[in-house]
Amino acid sequence: AAADLFCVSMHYVYFENSSSNPLLIRRIEELNKTANGNVEAKVVCFYRRRDISSTLIALADKHARELEEEMENSEMADLPEKQKHQLRHRELFLSRQLESLPATHIRGKCCVTLLNETEALKSYLDREDAFFYSLVYDPQQKTLLADKGEIRIGNKYQADITDLLNEGNETDGRDLAKLEEKVWDPNSSLTEKQIDQFLVVARSVGTFARALDCSSSVRQPSLHMSAAAASRDITLFHAMDTLHANGYDMTRAIAALVPQGGPVLCRDEMEEWSASEANLFEEALEKYGKDFTDIQQDFLPWKSLTSIIEYYYMWKTTDRYVQQKRLKAAEAESKLKQVYIPNYNKPNPNQLSNSVKPALLNGAAGSNVPVPPGPPGPPGSVQTPGLGRACESCYTSSSYQWYSWGPPNMQCRLCASCWTYWKKYGGLKMPTRLDGERPGPNRSTLSPHSLPLRHSGSPKFAVKTRQAFFLQTTGQTRLARRLCEDIIRPRYLARHPYLPVNTAAIKAECALRLPDSPKKPSQLKPVERKPLESVVRYLEAHPRPSKPNPPPRGSSISTGCLTPIKSSPILNNGSPTILGKRSYEQHNGLDGEFLSSHCTSSYVHNETF
C-alpha cells in the first residue's frame, strides 16, 4: 500500500524510541542497508516544544508575537484557549542534526511545512498529522535562529513603480548618466578580428605576469597551468575594460596592459584559494549545503561571504564539480530509494488489561456513579470503566482501551483517543494542571495531592521528602464533602493519605444529590461565652497553687499511689518547635500535681480529621 511506502527526501515520518514517550518526527534523507540485511534511515531531526528549555520557549513565544505584529494578524488572540493549547503541540523546531535510526521503528507519515504567513493558523488544527516550523534549533549550542527561507509577503516587500509616461507629451526628467554607466560600445571603430587579437595579447601579458610572480609560480608550476589561469574570465574582463577606457585605441590600450611597474596581474577567487582551502570548502558544502553563512562561521572564518559565494559559482564550472556530481549520482543509484514498512499493530506495554476487575471507589461501587460518555472505539470494541479513575486529558470514565500514563505512583490513565493524541502531538488535548511542568507527565515535583512542592527545583531541598503545601478548596468541594460523606469516607482517607480519590465521580454524584438536599443549612448550636471581666475575676479568686518543694535526697518515697513513669514521646522531631518540647500532659491541659493527687490512670484518644 502507498501508505506503508516511505521515500527518501519526500516523507516526514514518526519514529518510536519509547513506548511511553511521544513519537519522534524526522525527515528521511537516506536509506542504507546494513551488513546484516537491516535497513537504517539517516534522518533530519525535528524537536517539539517539550524538548527544549524554558528559556528558548520564551524566545520562541517572543518571535511568534513579533511575527503576528508584523503581519498585523490578530488571529492568535481570537483563538479559544483550548485551540491555543493544541496549536503549541503543532509547532516544531528544525535542526541541522542528522542521526541514524532503524527503519522498523517508523510508525507512519506526517506533514511538516515552513510556517506560511498567508495560511490561517487554525488550518493546521483542521488537518491530521500537520505540523509547522519557523525557527532552527541547535542542540549543541542551545540556540534558536529564524529560518532564512521565509516568504516575503507584505507592503514593505513591494517595489515602488513609477507612473507611466504619456508618449509625446511627457519626458523623463531623470539624468540617465547617473542611473547607469556605459562599459562597452558595440559600435566602436574596431573590427571583431582586432578585438580578438587584443585579447590574445592580454592573455600573453597575464601569462608573463604569473611567471614573474613568486606566489603564482608555486601555485601554477608549469607553463600550461599559468596559461590556463591567464585565460580565465577575469583577464578578459580587464582587457575589455582597458580597451573601453582608452577609447578603443589599440596602441594606448596595449601600453596600459604593461604600465611602468610591470605587467598587470589579474586573479579571481579560484586562483586566490589554496588547495587546503578548497578541500575545506568541499567538506563544508557536503555538510551544510549552500548555507554560506554557516560555511564561513564554522570552516572559513578568514574568508568574506562575497568571496565564498563567488568561489562557489566558479567551482561549479570546474571538472572537479562534474566528477563529484557523477560520483553522487552513482551512489544514489546504488542506494535505496524507498522502503516498505508494514503497519505496526503490536500491543503497547502501557496498555491496561480490560480483564481487571473495576476497583471500588473508596468503598462505593463505581458502577453506581454516572459517568460521561467516552470516545467511540473501533467496531466490536466494548467500553470499559477506567478502573476508578478518569482520563487525565478529557476526564471521561469509559473507553474501549486504557493506557497507563505518567509515573506509576500517580496511577494516571488516558483513554484511547487521548493516548493517540499524546503519542502524535506530545501533549494532552485539554490544558491541565501539568501545563508548565517539564517535560510531559513529569510529576516528580508534585505532592501526593497533585500540588507543586516548594523548592522542588533546588538541590538544597532535594533530600527532604515532606514539603509544606497549601490546599485551597472551592465551595463546591466543601459541599461535596458533606453530601457525599458516605463515598468519600473522610476518617478513613485521613489515615490513608496516599489513596487516590476519583474527584470526577464524586463531582458527578454531588450533582445528583444536590437537588435532594435541604435548601436551608443546618443551624449550629449556639455557644454562650462569658465576658472577659468574669474570667478575670475567676482567675483572681482561684490562683494557681504553688508547687511543693522537692523531697530531700535519701528520703523514702511512697510509690503506692503514683502513676508509672513513662518516657514522653518526642513529637515532630524533624521540626524544632515548641510542640516538640512539651509533654503529653501539657498538650492536654494537665499538670503534674493533678496527676499526683489521683492514682488512677487515664487514656486520652484524640482523633483529628
pLDDT digits (tens, 9 = 90+) for 46-62: 999 999 998 999 988 88
Positive or negative torsion for Cα 56, 58, 62, 65: positive
Instruction: Tell me if the bond preceding 439 is cis, omega within 30° of 0.
Output: yes
| Residue 302 confidence (pLDDT) above 60 | yes
Residue pLDDT, tens place only, 382-400: 555 444 578 888 888 888 8
User: If you ran DSSP here, which 8-state letter would residue 44 be given?
Assistant: E
Instruction: State how far the Cα of 186 lies from the Cα of 602, in Å rounded to an integer.
Output: 124
Instruction: State how far the Cα of 385 lies from the Cα of 400, in Å rounded to an integer.
Output: 9
User: If you ran DSSP here, which 8-state letter would residue 364 be given?
Assistant: B
Residue pLDDT, tens place only, 540-560: 888 877 776 665 554 444 444
Indicate the pairing of strand 106-114 with strand 130-138: parallel
| Residue 441 confidence (pLDDT) above 80 | no
Residue pLDDT, tens place only, 196-239: 999 999 988 888 888 877 766 556 667 777 777 778 888 888 98
pLDDT at 418: 92
Q: Which residue has the higher pLDDT, 10 or 192?
A: 192
For the chain, the C-alpha Rg in angstroms (whole number) is 42
| Residue 579 confidence (pLDDT) above 50 | no
Instruction: State how far the Cα of 190 lies from the Cα of 192, in Å rounded to an integer.
Output: 7
Q: Given the C-alpha cell 517572543, which residue does it identify?
A: 62
140 pLDDT band, cuts 50/70/90, is confident
Q: Which residues pair with 469 in a beta bridge?
A: none
Which of 344, 429, 417 lies closest to 381 in space, CA to CA?
Answer: 417
Q: Which residues, in sequence order, are CB contacts of 252 under 8 Å at separation 6+?
A: 246
Which triple of cell numbers denotes residue 447? 505532592
pLDDT at 90: 92
| Residue 467 confidence (pLDDT) above 80 | no
Which triple of cell numbers denotes residue 560? 503506692
| Residue 477 confidence (pLDDT) above 60 | yes
Which triple of cell numbers denotes residue 233? 574570465
CB-based contact 59:144 (threshold 8 Å):
yes
Instruction: State how far the Cα of 187 lies from the Cα of 69, in Å rounded to an integer.
Output: 55
Least confident of 257-261, 289-293, 403-407, 430-434: 430-434
269-288 average pLDDT score: 86
| Residue 518 confidence (pLDDT) above 70 | no
Mean pLDDT estimate for the chain: 74
Residue pLDDT, tens place only, 327-345: 888 877 767 777 777 778 8
pLDDT at 5: 63
| Residue 172 confidence (pLDDT) above 50 | yes
All structural domains of the chain: 11-146 (2.30.30.490), 192-267 (4.10.1240.50), 279-334 (1.10.10.60), 389-431 (3.30.50), 477-511 (no CATH)
537-541 average pLDDT score: 87
257-263 average pLDDT score: 85
| Residue 416 confidence (pLDDT) above 70 | yes
| Residue 45 confidence (pLDDT) above 90 | yes
pLDDT at 420: 92
Instruction: State how far the Cα of 334 lies from the Cα of 338, in Å rounded to an integer.
Output: 12
Instruction: State how far the Cα of 15 lies from the Cα of 23, in Å rounded to an integer.
Output: 6
272-299 average pLDDT score: 88
Instruction: State how far the Cα of 15 lies from the Cα of 104, in Å rounded to an integer.
Output: 9
Q: Which residue has the higher pLDDT, 377 or 585?
A: 377
Instruction: State how far the Cα of 521 lies from the Cα of 527, in Å rounded to an integer.
Output: 18
H or E stretch at 208: helix 192-212
| Residue 462 confidence (pLDDT) above 50 | no
CB-based contact 248:189 (threshold 8 Å):
yes
Q: Which residues, in sequence order, are CB contacts of 268 under 8 Å at separation 6+?
A: 232, 233, 234, 310, 314
Which triple of cell numbers denotes residue 177? 548618466
Which triple of cell numbers denotes residue 190? 574596431
**What percent of the chain has a predicted confidence (pLDDT) above 70?**
70
- Please give the single-letter amino acid code of residue 315: W
pTM: 0.50
| Residue 502 confidence (pLDDT) above 80 | yes
Which triple of cell numbers denotes residue 315? 567551482
pLDDT at 523: 65
Q: Which residue has the higher pLDDT, 95 or 467?
A: 95
pLDDT at 225: 74
User: If you ran DSSP here, which 8-state letter would residue 306 be given?
Assistant: H
∠ Cα 41 45 47 (to 5°):
145
CA distances from 25 to 11, 12, 370, 426, 595 (A): 11, 7, 40, 11, 75
Going edge to edge, which strands form the sheet with 402-405? 351-352, 402-405, 412-415
